[in-house]
Homo-oligomer: A and B are copies of this chain.
Amino acid sequence: MTEEPKPRRLTPKGRATRDRIIEAATELIARNGVAGTGIEDVRAAAGVSGSQLYHYFDSKQALIRAVITRQADSVLHPDQPRVTALDSFDALRAWADAAIERQRENGCRGDCTLGSLAGELSVSDEESRTDLATGFLRWKDLILDGLRAMRDRGGLRADADLDELALSLLTALQGGVLLSQTMLHVRPLEAAMNASLAYVHSFATTAGR
Chain A contact residues, CB within 8 Å of chain B: 29-36, 109-110, 115-125, 129, 132-133, 136-137, 163-165, 167-168, 170-172, 174-176, 178-179, 181-184, 187-192, 194-196, 198-199, 202
When distances are taken between beta carbons in the complex, the residues of chain B under 8 Å from A132 are 182
Q: How far is the CA of A36 from the CA of B126 in the complex (A)?
A: 13
Q: A168 to chain B: which residues have CB within 8 Å?
A: 172, 191-192, 194-195
Contact of A118 among B34, B35, B109, B178 (CB under 8 A): B178
- Give me 5 A-to-B residue pairs in the complex whose CB atoms sit less than 8 angstroms apart, sorted by A's number: A118-B179, A122-B178, A136-B188, A172-B195, A175-B176
Q: If A168-B191, A202-B198 touch, does A178 touch B175 (CB 8 Å cutoff)?
A: yes
Q: Which residue of B lies closest to A190 (CB)?
A: B164
Kindly identify which residue among B32, B137, B163, B175 contacts A171, using a CB–CB cutoff of 8 Å. Answer: B175
Q: Which residues of B contact A122 (CB under 8 A)?
A: 116, 178, 181-182
Instruction: Compute how far the CA of A201 lies from the CA of B135 in the bound complex, rounded to whole angstroms.
Output: 32
Whether the pair B133, A183 counts as a contact (CB closer than 8 A) is yes
Q: Pick the residue among B164, B165, B178 that contacts A115 (CB under 8 A).
A: B178
| Residue contact A170 to B188, C-beta cutoff 8 Å | yes
